[in-house]
Chains A and B, each alone.
Chain A
Amino acid sequence: MNIRNTILTAAIVSAILFSAPSSEPAAPAKKTKPAPTAQKRVPAQKIDVPFRVYTLKNGLKVILSEDHTAPTYSLNVTYDVGSRNEPPGMTGFAHLFEHMMFQGSENVGKGEHFIVISNNGGRMNGTTNADRTNYFETLPKNQLELGLFLEADRMRALSVTQENFENQRRTVQEERRQNYDNRAYGKTGEVLLDLAYDNFAYKHSTIGSMEDLDRASVDDARRFFKTYYTPNNAVLSLVGDFDSAEALTLIKKYFEAIPAGAPIPPVDMIEPPQKAERRKTIEDPFAQTPRIDIVYKIPRGNTPDWYALDVLGDVMSAGDSSRLYQLLVKDKEVATGVSAGPDERRGPALFYLSIFARPGTDLAAIEKLVYDEIERVKTGRVAAWELEKVRMQSRRQRAQGLYSTQSRANQLSYYAVYFNDPNLVNTVEAKIEKVMPADLQRVARTYLKPSNRTVLTTMPKSAAGASAK
């Protein structure tokens, strides 16, 4: 279900450096699920991503994974900093700073990063979310040194000028307008986070507010660079057609002299338990039809309960045979689309249910249908075939995702930064497979209860100022 991915992405990841017309969708971000390893029905061919981890003297973690099937490589550098590190008054800064990383460094001019990657047949981008910031490029194999040089030069000696900062402040503000302020449901995700979370770390959006973006200064950027963009706060993953020994020599040449920095300031991620349901209704000047978002607070990613909730999300909304699609879209005809599932976070995460309602339907009745379905999970059993289906879909999605070296490099860095375990790229499969019907029942009972939920309704703006005039 595309809808689902779109919604989750809007909510979690935010803000990529640019959305080029022909580039591949960025990053795996959400999750990579697996297949049933030794399961009876499918003689699953084991797919392993082999890799080795090295740590340079300055603390930079390096992950190498050779694959000679195509004459290309992908490089991913992920920094352990995201919008969760932003204090009040500086929302949007981590992402604005991501843009500054393309504005030149000691040996690379402003815009030159784009130019040299593109002119040598490559692709690149950067993305920021609440929990990390990443930079990645894919290039033909003969340009290995180019990618390493570009990443090292900006990690070592970023150049931040007032003019470039001003330019990117405006670019990011246009990004905000394009993706949030000028589109239907653009603000829904932001309002939802603000309503559901109490801790500021996740309460604010990654794109940030216009006011805070206006307030950001070059000095802030220099401080931010010094604090977070240190080799000991980064993971570099390299996947593709290279020789590991040679690659490691080059990586040392370019990166090892970059001085280590102080440990980064810890972030308070403690989220007080929610005691009662929260509700809000907003008007959207561009929405034509209502949308209901229901979220529940759940544990961080890479925990048994999170994996169970991930499977539950798929049972609810992945594919046309899923429970909520059949119920809301097909049988009752009260919605045009529905999505369900958790976002994966390093701290307290959310389980999302998003329903695009048909115009003129009783929204309370739709909510009730959703809650009744959740009750059925709590009191009944999810059928074996529903679980088997999720496993098959996961296995296939995973295999499909592995063709791309970029996707593999991004996953290795992602798991290393999020959970200090890059091997999750191979083992997450088994974790999903361990999920049993009783687990779904348990997590539904534990987390999907009224006192733990937040409900946001987005309504089309009433006729007066609406675009339908």
Chain B
Amino acid sequence: MKIIKRLLNGSAALLLLMSPAARLYAQDAAATPLSKVERKNKAPLSKEVLDVKLKRPIERKLSNGITVLILEDHRFPIVTTEFHMRGAGALFEPEKLKGLAAVTAEMLHEGTKTRTSKQIAEEMDRLGASLWASSGFGSLEAGFGASGLKDNFDAWFGLAMDVLLNPSFPEVELNRMKERIKVKLRQQRSSPGFLADERFSQAVYGAHPAATVSATPESVDALTPEALALWHRDRYDPARTILGIAGDVRADEIVPKLEKWLAKWPRRNVDAALPPNPTPVAARKIFLIDRPDSVQTTVALGNIAIDRRSDDYIPMVVMNQILGGGSAARLFLNLREEKGYTYGVYSSFSAGEYPGPWRAGGNMRTEVTAGAFKEFFYEFRRVRDEKAPAAELEEAKRSVVANFALALEQPARVLGFAMTRKIFGLPDDYWDTYPAKVMAVSAEDVERVARKYLNPETAQIVAVGDARKIKPVLEQYGAVEVYDNSGKVVAAPAAADVKQIQ
């Protein structure tokens, strides 16, 4: 489902932290809990926060302009490689050819000038290696990766480079893939999560191309081998590519090999200018996607907030941690642990090259949809209107900083931090100073970013569920636009027995 699901940007995607939301009626109070969260404070804790230094990868520039980041880690005989090709992402594809970037990426391994699809699959599998390629909707870049054992690195990486640089886009394979994709396009319409994503992105991004989260059968049908080949030729540009390598390699041995393998990749002149930034939607809108047999309501609330380079990024991380960043956050403790409305409820924010949305949501039992909305708005109000208590703030910050130690188990995660720094042009010492910056966030900062971005009056509201049962609930918040699962506006179905709704 790679193509269809929105993958966030390969790189900016890594940064999808979580963030919080808005308020509606200041007089909202939390409903009576079923059971109460309680602190006994008897667990033995070390007060120290480990001072973790993230290892910096070795950086090299190849003659054709590729930036290479190499993180050596010799614990296990594994090598992971990842190309981020800026300018080749779905964000830049023509409206009529939605899916072009993703299908180009996924078609790479379906044939090269010297190998058939089947030969590539057999060789890769025999080498115990694997390939992936994708470009998420809204992404500036196409991603391509290969990983495998150190023992036969030259064999599998060489093959991967044939796939990346010499694809032939055979028509017969493209036609097969198109048919498979069209089935998946249909299948995804049964998923409440997909339906919520689709409507939410449309709502917050509006005219910005990131509003699209999926190809359509028509846009898939319009793809041709020629269109794919052109996209590959014109948009896969080494000068805009970052290659990350993590694992059991030696930088000095691998760089000359990379030169050899990648030298024939010519530079391009890619127009990767961004469209105008999305801006927060000025007025609340409510979208209801009718999914008749639903036993839950899938909820998404939010609006456009910040990009990755924003000065508010770190305060947003902390605020989100407090509001909905995990199982110790307010939304989870309130809606799940105290009310029992849901299995999980979280907030997040997406901050990449252009501003993305903050978003809160989860799946709620249909009968408590009204109660759940009330609690969402209660929590949005609280994080905006009340200063976070000192202890809660300290703990949220500590949570973010202490978690760094865990990244050290996985070289790919450490490399991921460095890639983020590179992609967004953040200072060299960004991650070294990050913990101190997190610890410096004040209650005022949290309140300020919450007020600035989490406006409950303008938050877009999306609900996927049984319209007959939940439309009256949503109408308490304003006019409701009803869609069917194909994405079309429909007349609302007759309301059901309202007694079922609390």
Contact = CB atoms under 8 A, between A and B. Distances in A.
Contacts of B43: 107-108, 112, 116, 146, 149-150
B65 interface: no
B35 A143 contact: no
Contacts of B152: 42
B346 to A, nearest CB: 5
Interface string A393-431: 101100110111100000000000000000000000000
B129 A468 contact: no
Contact of B35 (A166, A173, A393): A166
A112 B408 contact: no
Contact of A182 (B296, B341, B403): B296
B36 interface: yes
Contacts of B38: 104, 109-112
A375 interface: no
A108 B327 contact: no
A391 B37 CA distance: 49
Contacts of B326: 20-22, 114, 118
A143 B191 CA distance: 40
Contacts of B270: none
A71 B149 contact: no
A320 B125 contact: yes
A281 interface: no
A120 interface: yes
Contact of B128 (A117, A118, A143, A396): A396
Given A112-B38, A120-B45, A71 B343 contact: no
Contacts of B482: none
B363 A467 contact: no
A459 B368 CA distance: 30
Interface stretch (B70-78, B250-258, B275-283): B70-78
A310 to B, nearest CB: 16
A468 B52 CA distance: 52
Contacts of A178: 296, 343-344, 363
Contacts of B410: 403-404
B190 A140 contact: no
Contacts of B336: 18, 171
Interface string B33-61: 01111111011111011101000000000
Interface string B116-134: 0110111011111110000
B296 A121 contact: no
A288 B36 contact: no
A16 B394 CA distance: 29
A121 B406 contact: yes
Interface residues of A, number: 96
Interface stretch (A329-337, A366-374, A446-454): A329-337
A118 B327 contact: yes
A168 B336 CA distance: 9
A404 B406 CA distance: 9
B162 interface: no
Contacts of A141: 50, 405
Given A69-B75, A120-B402, A395-B149, A21 B18 contact: yes
A177 B293 CA distance: 12
Given A71-B52, A403-B411, A111 B293 contact: no
A289 B186 contact: yes
A440 B151 CA distance: 28
B487 interface: no
A105 to B, nearest CB: 9
B37 A45 contact: no
Contacts of A114: 326-328, 332-333, 337
A172 B77 CA distance: 41
Interface in A358-381: 358-359
A288 B78 contact: no
A288 B180 CA distance: 14
B35 A164 contact: yes
Interface in A299-338: 318-322, 326, 329-330, 333, 336
A111 to B, nearest CB: 4
Contacts, number: 285
B34 A177 contact: no
Contact of A321 (B44, B50, B125): B125
A184 interface: yes
Contacts of A282: none
A70 B125 contact: no
B236 to A, nearest CB: 22
B44 A146 contact: yes
B35 A167 contact: yes
Contacts of B149: 42, 392, 395-396, 399
A152 B77 CA distance: 37
Contacts of B190: 183-184, 286-288, 467
A174 B365 contact: yes
A47 interface: yes
Interface string A138-164: 101111011001100000000001011
Nearest to A400: B78
Interface string A120-148: 11110000000000000010111101100
Contacts of A104: 38
Q: Which of B128, B296, B336 has the most CB of A within 10 A?
A: B128
B344 A20 contact: yes
B432 interface: no
A362 B151 CA distance: 45
B499 interface: no
B346 A71 contact: no
Contacts of A318: 125
A319 B121 contact: yes
Interface in A29-69: 42-45, 47, 69
A107 B42 contact: yes
Nearest to A287: B190
Interface string A175-191: 10111011110000000
Nearest to A397: B128
A120 B399 contact: yes
Most B C-beta atoms less than 10 A away, residue of A45, A110, A329:
A110
A170 B328 contact: no
B176 interface: yes
Contacts of A123: 406
A121 B128 contact: no
B401 interface: yes
A326 B110 CA distance: 13
A206 interface: no
B50 A358 contact: no
Given A115-B39, A178-B363, A396 B78 contact: yes
Given A115-B328, A468-B485, A109 B179 contact: no
Contacts of A321: 118, 121-122, 124-126
B395 A115 contact: yes
Interface in B367-418: 395-396, 398-406, 408-411
Across the A-B interface, give the 8 residue pairs with the lowest CB-CB distance, nearest first: A121-B402, A392-B128, A170-B340, A109-B38, A320-B121, A111-B37, A118-B328, A163-B35
11 contacts: A19-B344, A21-B346, A118-B327, A122-B403, A143-B46, A174-B341, A322-B125, A358-B179, A396-B78, A399-B77, A467-B293
Interface of B: 17-18, 34-40, 42-46, 48-50, 52, 75-78, 109, 117-118, 120-122, 124-130, 147-152, 176, 179-180, 183-184, 186-187, 189-192, 291-296, 326-328, 332-333, 336-344, 346, 348, 363-365, 395-396, 398-406, 408-411, 484-486
Given A114-B328, A467-B190, 8 more contacts: A42-B149, A72-B408, A110-B337, A173-B365, A179-B343, A289-B183, A319-B124, A320-B125
